[in-house]
Amino acid sequence: MVSAKLRTREIGMLVFDGFQLLDAAGPIGAFEMPVRGMSPPPYRLSLYSLEGGPVRASCGLSMMTEVLPPGLKLDTLIVSGGEGTREAMSDEVLLEAIRDLSQRTRRTCSVCSGSFVLAAAGLLKGRSATTHWRRSETFRRAFPDTNLQADRIYVRDGKFWTSAGITAGIDLALALIEDDLGEEVSRRAARELVVHQRRAGGQSQFSVMQDVRLASGRFDELIGWVRTNLAASLDVDTLAARAAMSPRNFARVFRAETGATPARFVEKLRLEAARQSVETTTLPLQAIAAKTGFGDPERMRVAFMRAYGQPPMVLRRQGRTNSPV
């Protein structure tokens, strides 16, 4: 089935002064994987800039680029992000080149803050998109006519694909590979890269463990146990007994260690697990609520509304919309 699809697709990465190196190198590395051992090679990769030659990344290193020729036709255009997007957004020559080139591409994509450049070119007006979480509020203010889904790894809206910060460009590339060549090829590419099989587009940019501060590794074992026993009774008494501490002392020390009360921490873990199941599986909400410790769908819905502002079914539909299938 894959062989019937095989043809060489032109993938063009567009960079500019101050681009983020990994925004470009990550997707390029992902697209390289299926090229190995496949005939004809499914991808031909090119790195472009307006004028060609070496282009300096924000880290100070430079990459050699080809000049962006007039009339170029690509299967997929990917615009890098980085600190240089602030200047790129006001470069009308660059924006016009992107608008013109996008008309001749099957897919137009961005990594990280590259979505600012696509939006400045007018390509995301009335569309859904995402960007790096740190610049999400700036994006909303600058482009109120774009439906920003700030808590997404990547978003697909028609031919336009946008992704979150930096390493999410690899997730985007793996999703594009799956769109072209199927899940098995994408999975093999992920294995070659030694990364997890691509995260679903609807998956959050964040995780509970990124959102808490751990003063030490004191509760690592307990947290690991909680994550694999979300359906259990996880009240303070249970957790304190597991940690061999009195409930009062446990609650005090746990909050000092994590920045959250035990109850709030457990709810965050349950929300994270439930959201992932809602967005990436077809399990009934009743089953998800049971396995993640919410007990019933209504209690889970209330928690989702409080945490995400949307009920589970809305997030499930959005997850399906953003899936590259």
CATH number of the domain where residue 16 is located: 3.40.50.880
Q: Which helix (H) or strand (E) segment is 138 a member of?
A: helix 136-142
CA atoms within 13 A on the CB side of 62: 9
Banded pLDDT at 5 (limits 50, 70, 90):
low
CA distances from 110 to 54, 77, 97, 113, 301 (A): 21, 8, 15, 8, 33
> Do residues 229 and 178 share a domain?
no
Any domain includes 181: yes
| Residue in this structure with the two tokens 């400045």, named with its chain if needed | 120
Residue 200 lies in a domain: no
Point out the domain boundary residue: 193, 223, 239: 193
DSSP code of 2? H
Domain membership of residue 225 as a residue range? 208-321
203 part of a folded domain: no
pLDDT: which is higher, 317 or 199: 317
Name the active-site residue from 15, 22, 112, 153. 112
Both 121 and 82 in one domain: the answer is yes
User: Can you list the positions of beta strands (E) in the chain?
Assistant: 9-14, 43-49, 53-56, 62-67, 74-79, 105-110, 128-129, 147-148, 154-157, 160-163
Which one-letter DSSP state was computed for residue 198? -
Is residue 92 located within the same domain as residue 154?
Answer: yes
Looking at the structure, do residues 132 and 245 belong to the same domain, yes or no? no
Q: Are residues 253 and 122 in the same domain?
A: no
From 133-137, 300-304, 320-324, the region with the lowest mean pLDDT: 320-324
C-beta contacts of 29-37 below 8 A and 24+ residues apart: 29/170, 29/193, 30/170, 30/173, 30/174, 30/177, 30/189, 30/193, 31/173, 31/176, 31/177, 33/177, 33/188, 33/189, 33/192, 33/193, 34/177, 34/181, 34/185, 34/188, 34/189, 36/192
Q: Which residue's entry shows tokens 């890098």?
A: 80
What backbone torsions phi and psi does residue 195 show, to the nearest 5 degrees?
Answer: -125, 165
Tokens 């994270």 -> residue: 272
- Please check whether residues 18 and 163 belong to one and the same domain: yes
The answer to whether position 223 is within a domain reads yes
Catalytic-residue membership of 59 = no
CATH code (residue 230): 1.10.10.60
- The separation between CA 299 and the C-alpha centre of its own chain, rounded to angstroms, equals 28
Shared domain check, 226 and 167 = no
Domain count, the chain: 2
Q: How far apart are CA 275 and CA 279, in angstroms?
A: 6
Asked whether the predicted pLDDT for residue 300 surpasses 80, the reply is yes
Instruction: For residues 228 and 159, state if they share a domain.
Output: no
pLDDT at 206 over 70: no
Query: Do residues 219 and 144 both lie within one domain?
Result: no
Residues 57, 119: contact at Cβ < 8 Å?
no
Q: Is residue 201 domain-resident?
A: no
Indicate the average pLDDT of the chain: 89
Residue 187 scores a pLDDT above 90: no
Task: Give pTM, 2 decimals.
Answer: 0.68
The answer as to whether 21 is a domain residue is yes
pLDDT at 238 over 50: yes
Query: Do 17 and 51 sit in the same domain of this protein?
Result: yes
Is 231 contained in some domain? Answer: yes
